[in-house]
Amino acid sequence: MDPLTQGLLGAALPQAVCKQEQVRRATWIGLLGGMAPDADVFIRSAADPLLAIQYHRHFTHSLIFIPVGGLIVATLVWLLARRRLPFGQVCTFATLGYATHAVLDACTSYGTQLLWPFSDMRVAWNNVAVVDFFLTVPLGILVFLAMKRRRPQWARIGLVFVLAYLSLGVVQRERAESVLRKLAAERGHTPLELSAKPTLFNLILFRGIYTTEDRFHVDGIRVGFFSAPMIIEGQSVKRFSTEADLPNLPEDSVLAKDIARFAHFSDGYLARHPTKPGVVGDIRYSMLPQSLEPLWGITIRPDRPDEHVPFDNFRDNAEEKGPLFFKMVMGRQPVKPEAPLPTSP
């Protein structure tokens, strides 16, 4: 999730278990511990654009790395405090804060390597968006009250709230997936894989994706709390396959290896961009829940098999799509594409 929410949850856990006179100290140390795993964003290379996404949510987010990460944060805090704080206490608060980070990240749809080095599986439970103010703002208020009043009880309420909100996300995800299964059945499809991912800022509007043979089918699913589910129909696109789309590409080439790295990051959800020739995108994410236009992707250059692929983000027509997105969240804009977007043959 975003760094602020990570820091707030990192602060809440040590706040909740510390003594009253330790609350403020626990807040700042836990806050740093909660944000620390995202230091992996500094692992990057201008020569290899995929290095950044390959190592984000990697070893620093592993469950086995929590004691190491907590120790590193504690040591830095202890040294910056000129060794005036009890190291054991600092280490406890930092480790508790650090421990919250990866689990919260795994609740999103981005993918987190919780089990590294035993498995490179990217865990994604899809029960909260990477940014959700309805989670962040109440948690922030409760963490602030705990610090201001030196009352661990407020932090405990905050942890209960977070657990309840994430549980609501599970319920909403299951509702969205149920609607998507019914929609697939009505189309005569038997999905090989099916998932619903919450869109930004809310637990109402989901991006539904299911696969049939070699195609992805994408639809928006709105599951309001007090209204019937709404389907925002999308389209399908052919799944990108290196073997089928680039049959002459050498397996040991840099390009082939980069495509494999991007495929692992994207959990295999690769498709050609509908309007940008040569771009293969991560179909899991788009600005609109039913759109085939990915938020990011790589540019395939078969004539340069020994060069690393460029990685780009796409925010085309954001000024138009933003208001439309919020209309969909509010249930005011159930739409079908006016004209089919071109898909891969």
Alpha carbons within 13 angstroms on the beta-carbon side of residue 17 total: 13
Distance CA 198, CA 171 (A): 12
Three-class DSSP category at 15: helix
With a CB cutoff of 8 Å and minimum separation 6, the contacts of 329 are 199, 201, 202, 204, 205, 222
pLDDT at 61: 98
Q: 230-247: per-residue pLDDT in tens? A: 999 999 999 999 999 999
pLDDT at 319: 87
Distances (CA, A) of 192 to 1, 34, 153, 163, 195: 29, 37, 46, 31, 11
Concatenated DSSP letters of 236-295:
EEEBP-HHHH-TTS-TTSHHHHHHHHHHHHTTT-EEE-SSSTTEEEETT--SSTT----S
In the 8-state DSSP scheme, what is residue 36?
G
Distance CA 33, CA 91 (A): 10
Q: How many residues does the chain have?
A: 345
pLDDT at 339: 38
Can you list the residues of the chain whose pLDDT is less than 70?
333-345
pLDDT at 337: 39
pTM: 0.93
pLDDT at 293: 96
Three-class DSSP category at 315: coil
